[in-house]
Chain A
Amino acid sequence: MKRLLALTTLLATPAFAEGELKVYHWFEYIPQELVDKFTAETGITVTIDTYDSNEAMLASLKAGKLGQYDVAVPGDYMVEIMRGEGILGEYAPEEMPNFANIEPQWLDVPFDPGRKHSIPYQWGSTAFSVNRDVYQGDINSLGIIFNPPEELKGKINVLDSQGEVLALGSLYLGIPQCTTDREQLKALNDMLLAAKENWASFGSDIAKDVLVSGDAAAGMIYNGFSAKARAEGANVEYAFPKEGYVLWMDNMVLLKDAPNRDNAIKFMNFLLDPQNAAAVTNYAAYSPGVKGATEFLDAAIKDSPENNPPADQKGEFIIACDAETQALYDAIWTNLKK
């Protein structure tokens, strides 16, 4: 289908001699009009193949697709994994005039320090939401989930996802991610076991539904899910807790052995243009990481409380630990759910 669309644009564009671009992308994550605009501006034909998970993308690249695609769009931790696997290409900021448009906070990210391989695509956060009909108090702390007030006990849903639960738990206790300190890991283990007593359920797909239906009065949730719950009429407020929250970011990376490297750089530069970044955000409803994009956003997305963390409350990306450390976290998770 996408190939067909790309072919159509090819026929409609006189300057097809400019070559092509092979994009490996999530399904339904870029508006076709934006791709057409790129083709119209540059004469480059864009072919898009899609995947539905970071792991599927990595597996497919490692299984021999590397060298066939120019760019892909991995999540934060996957950028780090791909960097470790040595399957990313490298570019210099001077190659991209729009590189300066990257918001300063997304420049020196832990998964790609100094942005040598990737540019921001979209970002969002994971924290929790509270039903304000049930609880009117302060929701500024992760204690709402991990040491809940009486009104919320037994009415909390947490994400059934090891990464998010353990990262938020670590933030609550103020211990670093991927720590190997025994006392800290034991404290995390004990805190989670005690907190579980007050949780009603673990569930990721149901995170929004339980808040809307009233099954849960508070729940760990992705910011986009919480916005949808609000749109569906639930009186829920999304919190940006003072201890911190989990950040996620999808990034466009230059792949190693990209067959059309120059065109890939042009495309990444194109996506760093504020108007184009805003076009992606208006389609995907997350947040752009590009300066000046805000003014081109639809009002509902621009003013959404879930998309606008307070300036002084910072989030953290989930860090990909090494194998030995990860085994400790796996054990804590199994311990929590046994």
Chain B
Amino acid sequence: MAGAAPTPSPEAGGSDATYARLRRPLLAPTWTVIGVFLLLPVLLMVVYSFLTKEFRGGVEWDFTLAAYDQFFVTRGLFGDEPAQIEWTYITIFWRSIWQAGLATFLCLLIGFPTAWFIATRPEASRPIWLFLITIPYWVNLLIRTVSLRFILRDQGPMNDALIGLGVISQPLEILNTNLAVQLGLFYSYLPFMVLPIYAAVERYNFALSEAAADLGANRWRALFEVVLPVVRPGIVAGCILVFVPALGAFLAPDLLGGAKTFMIGSLIDEQFRGSQGNWPFGAAVSVILMTLVLIVLMIQARAAARAGQ
């Protein structure tokens, strides 16, 4: 590992001069990690998105906007009609954003009460509840998604149980629908919602709720005007942690939705597979996706800054 910093000798510890001298070497590992694992891949992706597609996979080092042109502009199947806006990929983006947004909303709906419940248990039992939340996530996401597929099948355990209990007479056909994708996304990312909200609620001073009640606020008013503003950072962090990975997810759409319609993740995946791939286009879609996510994060950061003032 580059920049293995020398350990400061005990007698030098605490002196400002020592820190100033060691600042660079101590930061070197961080900068190396950020550079090699974050900046370099992103830079590579941006550069690739402007290169020319090599037939049957790979790139040629000729700079072009062809990948972005393919994303936004259509000239018909045969390329000789007047240029129009290409709705195909925008539709795929819109569908993915909608699915990820709905998953985030559902996670919030279930995640907030769950986090509240855990945070209001006696302090000794809270770790057990958190432990229970995290247990399923010791198993690989792929295995969990395949298992969900098995559970949701027409002749699967869920339908067998519901029919056995007399709730339904015909099996529910959930597998290979958007509902199944939604369930998969919700299930995959729920703890990312619960944990940050829990951290925020745990720090919440419950005396504030009592004060609100004493001052005549009903339960809803206390929730919306006292509790939510205080735990808001946790909610926002949870929403981002769910929304962003759900937006790029491709396991759930492929395995639970039957891969019938592209989502952003599967569209990108397809561009790097086999001999029919299109690397620059895959990179361009990734860049557009990343730009969208950055815009959302910037709006959020600005709103947070404004709220903080």
Contacts and interface: CB of A to CB of B under 8 A. Distances in A.
B78 A328 contact: yes
Interface stretch (A3-11, A120-128, A198-206): A198-206
B157 to A, nearest CB: 12
B258 A54 contact: no
Contact of B57 (A55, A163, A186, A203): A55
Contact of A81 (B56, B154, B258): B56
Given A214-B155, A337-B261, A331 B55 contact: no
A118 interface: no
Interface string B56-73: 111000000000000000
B259 interface: yes
B260 A201 contact: yes
Contacts of B77: 182, 185-186, 189, 328, 331-332
A330 interface: yes
A163 B276 contact: yes
A59 B278 CA distance: 15
B82 interface: no
A163 B56 CA distance: 13
A105 interface: no
Contacts of A334: 88, 262
Nearest to B277: A55
Nearest to A180: B78
Interface in A291-338: 323, 326-328, 330-335, 337-338
Interface in B158-184: 173, 175-176
Contact of B176 (A54, A201, A337): A201
A203 B254 CA distance: 8
A56 to B, nearest CB: 10
A243 interface: no
B85 to A, nearest CB: 14
A200 B55 contact: no
B91 A338 contact: yes
B274 interface: yes
B274 A55 contact: yes
B258 A201 contact: yes
Given A81-B56, A185-B77, A335-B88, A330 B259 contact: no
A213 interface: yes
A232 to B, nearest CB: 16
Interface string B254-275: 1100111110000000000011
B92 interface: yes
Contacts, number: 72
A215 interface: yes
B153 interface: yes
A213 B153 CA distance: 9
Interface in A6-64: 53-55, 59
Nearest to B55: A323
A162 interface: yes
A331 B77 CA distance: 7
A208 interface: no
Given A200-B176, A201-B258, A326 B55 contact: yes
A333 B55 CA distance: 17
Contacts of B58: 59
A261 interface: no
A199 B260 contact: yes
21 contacts: A157-B258, A160-B254, A182-B78, A185-B77, A200-B258, A201-B258, A201-B260, A202-B260, A203-B254, A203-B259, A213-B153, A213-B155, A215-B153, A327-B79, A330-B276, A331-B77, A332-B77, A337-B261, A338-B88, A338-B89, A338-B92
Given A160-B259, A337-B259, 17 more contacts: A54-B275, A55-B275, A59-B58, A154-B173, A189-B77, A199-B260, A201-B176, A201-B260, A203-B255, A203-B258, A213-B155, A215-B154, A215-B175, A326-B276, A335-B88, A337-B261, A338-B89
Interface of A: 53-55, 59, 77, 81, 154, 157, 160, 162-163, 182, 185-186, 189, 196, 199-203, 206, 213-215, 323, 326-328, 330-335, 337-338
